Amino acid sequence: MNNLIKNSSKTQELTYELKIQDAMDKNYITVSSKTSVSSLREILRKKRILGVPVVDDGNLVGIVSIEDYIKSTEQGKLNETVETIMTKDVVTLFSDEPLINAIRYFEKYEFTRFPVICREDNKLIGIVSKIDTIKGILKKLETVYQDEEERRYRASHFFNDVIADGISIELKYLVEGKNFDKAGEASTRLKKSLNRLGLPPEVVRRVTISTYEAEINIVSYTEKGEITAYINSDRIRMLITDNGPGIEDIGKAMTPGYSNAPGWVRELGFGAGMGLPNIKKFSDEMNITSIVGEGTRLETFFFLNDNSDEDKKEEGK
Amino acid sequence: MKSLKDIAEKLNLEVISGNTEREVSGGYSSDLLSDVIANAQKDNIWITLQTHLNIVAVANLKELAGIILVNGRQPEESTLNKAKQENIPILLTELPTFEIIGKLYELGVKGNKRF
């Protein structure tokens, strides 16, 4: 543990930030000073623990460890009570102390666990062991890491940071037909990437939802397809192509509720006849061309300039 | 606004994935994914009997608060794994759709349109 602290400054920082109450075990077991040594043995054995605090009337009066127990058997004290074998000068920690104090105590004393006391009423409220300390730090690291990840994505404003008269980014995703286990993966990856580029969440949502519908169409009806996003500073253009059977009557396919989906697709909750209507609903502009026996080409646009975006949506209605 | 955690506790829903410390804006129920895509709103709780992997993708894309699976249905293993990975709450109930929605309504979880 000492090395862990020395090598990692973030961990070190956390040991000051975390309180002992954040890491301590609140579901601890206690015995009373009147508990017999033989019952103590059973408790230690059954619960597989190395020591328990001794509590009388809610007050901590001692701590008894497996070492105390072993010593007592040597001295033939099996029929006596815990009181005669426990350590009475208990080293305790307050719940509001920083976790680093527990780590210092582990180094300073040779105990494996310390009772944790509430500063206000001096009552026992937990136990802290080395394992609890490590778990507490790991848990905190995990949340710190998640927050950091989120913050980093939000902080990136690619189009503000890169200086050029024109910027264009192309992101390509390949979609496998008939594989519903992977359906939605391209759209989900696209969503993450668009978020990382710092694009407005409202636009990202519309792009990924309409792309998801298109992706489901590729999976449902074709062998394979391609999704490409062309991102400029003022708009996102999505191009979705496949080499599937093509759409015979696009007008019909655009009618909400009309669907050609086979039974197995419907069973998965798709094929409601809302795919193309949804794509149109969530995009600012949509063009679709299809040749039966060759494939379908779908193009959608999403405008990024805040004002024109709203206007275009309004005009469409 | 109600918290998902609160709803789960009051209606005895079994939480098997995701973080329930979030607010629920309302509810939507459908077993057709495109219908959910079209009509569910952000932070809605979604009531469905679909258990396939794609419910996680839809919940993720629509930024739903969580998914309630009805009739004692269990999600497929791949669904559960994905839900854990994407931190999408999935909650289970033995009740059928009609009953669970009735109870949600009683708790004040309403639909999106005001009639």
**Whether A194 contacts A230, CB under 8 Å:** no
Contacts of A176 in chain B (CB under 8 A): none
CB contact under 8 A, B37 and A274: yes
| CA–CA separation, B82 and A263 (whole Å) | 25
User: Percentage of chain A with pLDDT > 70?
Assistant: 91
A62 close to A80: Cβ distance less than 8 angstroms: no
The reply to whether A203 and A259 lie within a common domain is yes
Last residue of a domain, one of A142, A173, A200: A142
Tell me the two tokens of residue A59.
Answer: 């007050």
Q: Do B35 and A272 touch (CB under 8 A)?
A: yes
Q: Which domain holds residue A136?
A: 2-142
Of A111, A142, A173, which residue is a domain's last?
Answer: A142
Contact B33 A181 (CB under 8 A): no
Whether A188 sits inside 8 A of B57 (CB atoms) is yes
Contact across the interface for A277 and B53, Cβ inside 8 Å: no
For residue A287, the cross-strand partners are A299
pLDDT of residue A317: 35
Residues of B in contact with A275 (CB under 8 A): 34
Best B30, B31, B32, B34 member to test A by mutation, with max A CBs in 10 Å, is B34
Q: Alpha helix locations (H) across chain A?
A: 2-7, 9-17, 20-23, 37-47, 66-74, 99-108, 130-155, 158-161, 185-196, 201-221, 250-253, 263-267, 275-282, 306-316
Q: What is the DSSP string of B31-49?
A: S-HHHHHHH--TTEEEEES
Residues in B 61-90 with any Cβ partner in A closer than 8 A: 61-63, 78, 86
- A170 lies in the same domain as A133: no
**Angle, CA of A135, B78 and A185, to the nearest 5°:** 100
Name every chain A residue with its beta carbon within 8 A of the beta carbon of B37. 209, 212-213, 274, 278
Q: Which of A89-93, A257-261, B101-105 has the lowest mean pLDDT?
A: A257-261
**Within an 8 Å CB–CB cutoff, is residue A281 touching chain B?**
yes
Q: Residue A208 — φ and ψ, nearest 5°?
A: -75, -35
Reported as a single tens digit per residue, the pLDDT across B62-115 is: 999 999 999 999 999 999 999 999 999 999 999 999 999 999 999 999 998 755
pLDDT tier at A156, thresholds 50, 70, 90: low
pLDDT at A308 over 70: no
Smallest Cα distance from B46 to chain A, Å? 14
**Which among A181, A187, A278 has the least Cβ separation from residue B38?**
A278
The helix (H) or strand (E) run that includes residue B6 is helix B4-10
Evaluate whether residue A147 is within a structural domain.
no
- Give the pLDDT score at A315: 40
Q: If you average pLDDT over residues A43-54, what whole number do you get? A: 88
In angstroms, the CA A106 to CA A130 distance is: 8
Q: What is the ipTM of this complex?
A: 0.73
- State how far the Cα of A15 lies from the Cα of A101, in Å rounded to an integer: 8
Neighbours of A174 (CB within 10 A): 10
**3-class SS at A269?**
coil
Of the candidates B110, B103, B111, the one whose C-alpha atom is nearest the C-alpha of residue B8 is B103
Domain boundaries defined on chain B: 2-106
* B54 and A268 Cβ atoms separated by less than 8 Å: yes
Q: Are residues A118 and A176 in the same domain?
A: no
Residues A44 and A99 in one domain: yes
Together in a domain, A169 and A245: yes
In angstroms, the separation between the Cα of residue B65 and the nearest Cα of chain A is 15
Taking an 8 Å cut-off on Cβ atoms, the answer to whether B37 and A273 are in contact is no
Same domain, yes or no, for A62 and A170?
A: no
3-state secondary structure of A147: helix
pLDDT for A307 beyond 60: no
Phi, psi torsion values for A42, nearest 5 degrees: -60, -40
Q: Would you say residue A148 lies in a domain?
A: no
A14 and A94 housed in the same domain: yes
Global confidence as pTM: 0.58
CATH of the domain at A245: 3.30.565.10
- pLDDT for A309 equals 42
- The total domain count for chain A is 2
User: Looking at the predicted structure, is the pLDDT value of residue B24 above 60?
Assistant: yes
Cα-Cα-Cα-Cα dihedral sign, residues A257, A259, A264, A270: negative
Burial (CB < 10 A; 0-12, 13-18, 19+), residue B24, is: buried
Burial label, A2 (beta-carbon count in 10 A; 0-12, 13-18, 19+)? exposed
Nearest CA to B7 among B20, B18, B31?
A: B20
Which residues lie below 8 Å from residue A206, measured CB to CB, with a gap of 6+?
A282, A283, A302
Residue A146 — very low, low, confident or very high, per pLDDT cuts 50/70/90?
Answer: confident
With a cut of 70, say whether residue B4 has pLDDT above it: yes
Question: Which one-letter amino acid corresponds to residue A134?
Answer: I
> What is the pLDDT averaged over residues A184-193?
91
Cβ-Cβ contacts under 8 Å, A179 against chain B = none
Nearest to B50 among A188, A216, A269 (CB): A269
Contacts of A105 (CB under 8 A, 6+ apart): A91, A93, A111, A114
Whether residues A172 and A135 share a domain: the answer is: no
Residue with tokens 């696009």: A250
What CATH number corresponds to the domain at position A136? 3.10.580.10
Last residue of a domain, one of A142, A176, A193: A142
pLDDT digits 0-9 by tens, A5-32: 455 577 778 888 889 999 999 888 899 9
Q: What is the pLDDT of residues B29-46, one digit of tens each?
A: 999 998 999 899 999 999
**Which of B28, B32, B37 to probe by mutation at the A interface, max A CB count within 10 Å?**
B37
Asked if B31 and A269 come within 8 Å (Cβ–Cβ), the reply is: yes
The pLDDT value recorded for residue A312 is: 43
Q: What's the rounded mean pLDDT across residues A282-290?
A: 95
Say if residue A100's pLDDT is above 60. Answer: yes
Q: Which residues contact A92 (CB under 8 A, 6 or more apart)?
A: A60, A114, A115, A116, A117
Check whether residue A24 and residue A94 sit in a common domain.
yes
Closest CA to A81 of A91, A69, A70, A90: A69
In a domain, A156, yes or no: no
Choose the closest CB to A184 out of B35, B50, B54: B54
Domain B2-106 has CATH 3.40.1390.20: yes
Residue A25 tokens read as: 């075990």
One DSSP character per residue, A101-134 reads HHHHHHHHS--SEEEEE-TTT--EEEEEEHHHHH
